[in-house]
Structure 1
Amino acid sequence: MKFRGKIVDIACLNHLTRVVTTVSKLTKTCVLRLTPDNLFFVLSEKVANGGVSMWCELSQANFFDEYQMEGVCSEDNEICLEMSPENLSRALKTVQNAKSVKVKLSKKHCPCLSIVGELPTLSSISRVVTHHVPVNVVPRRLWHEFKEPSVPDFDVSIYLPPLKTMKNVVDRMKNLSNFLVIEASLSGEMNLKMETDLVSVTTHFKDLGNPAWGDDASQGAGPSPSRDPEAMAQARVDIRKLQQFLMGQQVNPSKAMCNIVHETLIHLILLHEDVSLQYFIPAVA
């Protein structure tokens, strides 16, 4: 089992750091899944117990100048590592100005992801800084828990309003209630609502637009063609989980979407060129 990658382009290094930092805001531990073509950051909590799930996918060719890996066996050429994304984020931030950065799987006192940065210097003597991020190797029998989540058949899909605007609204509502209702329609309308014994607050967004979903089964069946465009689908969620998602964003997505399974789940999707991030928040009664 081997993994070694090298990043020379400073823009690619900064971009990877932003992605890892975003992931670190969403979870304290996750699984880094390495394949020959992609890297995945995966969080798979039990939705039945109110847990959230995350799937972040990166194409390695868009980040690494050199990339080599050998999985645990030839049939399943991949490696799964449980780790703290915050530790990886800190390590990457310390080598932001490096001429090159190597990332490799090594073994010190325990398995580690070693981040080795060659720093610029005025002399002929090179300066190298190394960080070792501890990881746990996930046994192959557990890999099935970290496969791409299936997208449920949703009732409404809608583009999100500007994330900063949405975050400001959610931050204010959090002071009033622990729960928030998100509802949306196929006519491009979305409402954020919360209600207590003392106060009821609703923020309306209009003309957001609705994504057109094709026939790709992996993307879910999508809304029924016969669905009333004005009909609202809604889900009541833990406001802290939604706030955590909005607080952590550093990837500046080109598209941000929300799929709603009525009274069951909200599925948030961020797309940015070579990165996709999916976040699932189950509804609460």
Structure 2
Amino acid sequence: MHAQDLLARRFETHRGHLRSVAYRMLGSSSEAEDAVQEAWLRLALADTGEVENLAGWLTTVVSRICLDMLRSRAARREDPMESLVDLGDTGYDSDPEHEAVLIDSVGRALLVVLDTLRPDERVAFVLHDMFAVPFDQIAPIVRRTTATTKKLASRARARAHGDATASSTELAEQRHVVEAFLTAARSGDLGALLAVLAPEVVRTADPAALPAGMALVARGADAVAKETLLLRNRSQVATIALVNGAVGIIVAPRGRLLLALTVSVEGDRIAAYEVYADPARLRQLELAVLPD
């Protein structure tokens, strides 16, 4: 067998792992594929006789490629939140099946939180916490000392887990109510929505969060429930998360933040919620993954 063909076969055995690493770093399946392909090109040009651990070598290469892509994205001031605000409802059902599977395997909330990290923090956190790569192997990738690399991952971990303002009991109660609301929205169950909304519930929203002509404030369970059914497709790409320390909802098509809801729970019902869509306001929110 030709040496290049043998090398290609060896590379293919690692492609799935490399794609997983790249996707968690970049949050985009197309960009992850680009990073993996670039890793293959570099391998094809390398002196493979000097590569003792191909899996480790490829992970390092694809991580450096992803870090460069993340830094380039930041330098161009690309804002995935702003670019998604204009998608409107037509964007909610456009996830390719394979990317939907990737999102589910990582979690929409975590992908959104990862997008708030600095490139070096994201790389350190993904490699160590998700793929168990030792810090002394990550340090050369991010060009930091081992001690500093540990701090990068620690800061990222703290951001990912957030700082809940409520007790664990209160969080559990909030979660039960918010999950019931989201489940009812996904299934289009008007009765279940009315059951979880307080009679005098108030919904407020940024203008960008609503179709043209829809009121910025909606009052009463009946009005809010019917509006929720009208915008039901949003719930298909929504998930619960910590929003400003309490249980809320984020809407994230393709794993990128589009909307965030802060929710006020009183007893076993939702008393009010606010929908954030303005990019500047979204950036001011503290988002984190809910603890299991």
Instruction: Give the TM-score of the pair, scaled to structure 1.
Output: 0.30
Instruction: Give the TM-score of the pair, scaled to structure 2.
Output: 0.29
Q: Which has the higher helix share?
A: 2
Q: Which has the higher strand share?
A: 1
